[in-house]
A and B are shown apart, each in its own frame.
Chain A
Amino acid sequence: GENVEQHPSTLSVQEGDSAVIKCTYSDSASNYFPWYKQELGKRPQLIIDIRSNVGEKKDQRIAVTLNKTAKHFSLHITETQPEDSAVYFCAAMGFKTIFGAGTRLFVKA
């Protein structure tokens, strides 16, 4: 069946460094790829998204890249701050919505 693989499961970086999270999807019908940030006990918050007709999108310190041929998409956070610490989920949406397993990001001050 369709699935989304997300790596790494845990990521620890020093404040100011960059963080990269990668996802791979299998459903060719997926055409919308959002990234969510979830803090403990709270709802997922959309932080950036990209559509299948775009290769890259940037919003301040956050960027997302998409390689539709390889079915890869990645989240890049630059100049990380302690408040970026959370769990990040990628998702691939088309007819179905499939979430990645999540990446727990720790930003050390």
Chain B
Amino acid sequence: GAVVSQHPSRVICKSGTSVKIECRSLDFQATTMFWYRQFPKQSLMLMATSNEGSKATYEQGVEKDKFLINHASLTLSTLTVTSAHPEDSSFYICSARGNRGLDNEQFFGPGTRLTVL
């Protein structure tokens, strides 16, 4: 299958700092990348969808000024959590869709566990 990496895998930061998470498709071109957030014992909640070279589409209730998404190339998307607060602590997972696999098939990254103190 296709490989998607995420970096970092775990980050602990102080309240008020910004954190950048990278999502890379290693062996295929990802025309679309998705960012999800998963709280403990809950489902994956789609935060935003980003298409290479265009602005991300945010889901209702997700603040675009707080969660900055950049999809600058066909292999890289970044999510920046600005001025992070303890309630932003969560498991953030990206997925990518592109020229690999079947239509609509998404390949997930390993996730980033963010802890804001």
Chain A interface (Cβ within 8 Å of chain B)?
1, 31-32, 34, 41-46, 49, 51, 89, 93-94, 96-102
Question: Apart from A43-B109, A96-B46, what 8 extra A-B contacts exist at CB < 8 Å?
Answer: A32-B105, A41-B111, A42-B110, A43-B93, A89-B43, A97-B34, A101-B42, A102-B43
The size of the chain B interface, using a CB distance under 8 A, is 19
> How would residues 3 to 44 of chain B score, 1 for a CB under 8 Å from any chain A CB and 0 otherwise?
000000000000000000000000000000010000000111
Cβ A99 vs Cβ B113 within 8 A: no
**Which residues of chain A have C-beta atoms less than 8 A from B43's C-beta?**
89, 99-102
Q: How many A-B residue pairs have CB under 8 A?
A: 45
**Which residues of chain B have C-beta atoms less than 8 A from A1's C-beta?**
60
B108 CB–A CB distance under 8 Å: yes
**Which residues of chain B have C-beta atoms less than 8 A from A51's C-beta?**
102
Q: Which of A44, A51, A101 has the most CB of B within 10 A?
A: A44
Q: How far is the CA of A102 from the CA of B104 in the complex (A)?
A: 20
B106 CB–A CB distance under 8 Å: yes
- Sampled A-B contacts (5; CB under 8 Å): A31-B104, A32-B104, A34-B105, A44-B108, A46-B105
Chain B interface (Cβ within 8 Å of chain A)?
34, 42-46, 60, 91, 93, 102-106, 108-111, 113
**Which residues of chain B have C-beta atoms less than 8 A from A93's C-beta?**
104, 106
A43, A49, A94, A97: the one contacting B46 at CB < 8 Å is A97
A31, A45, A89, A94: the one contacting B44 at CB < 8 Å is A89
Q: How far is the CA of A19 from the CA of B68 in the complex (A)?
A: 41
**Which residues of chain B have C-beta atoms less than 8 A from A46's C-beta?**
105
Give min CB distance, B105 to chain A, whole Å. Answer: 7
Cβ B46 vs Cβ A42 within 8 A: no
Cβ B111 vs Cβ A42 within 8 A: yes
**Which residues of chain A have C-beta atoms less than 8 A from B91's C-beta?**
41
Cβ B108 vs Cβ A43 within 8 A: yes
Q: How far is the CA of A86 from the CA of B71 in the complex (A)?
A: 32
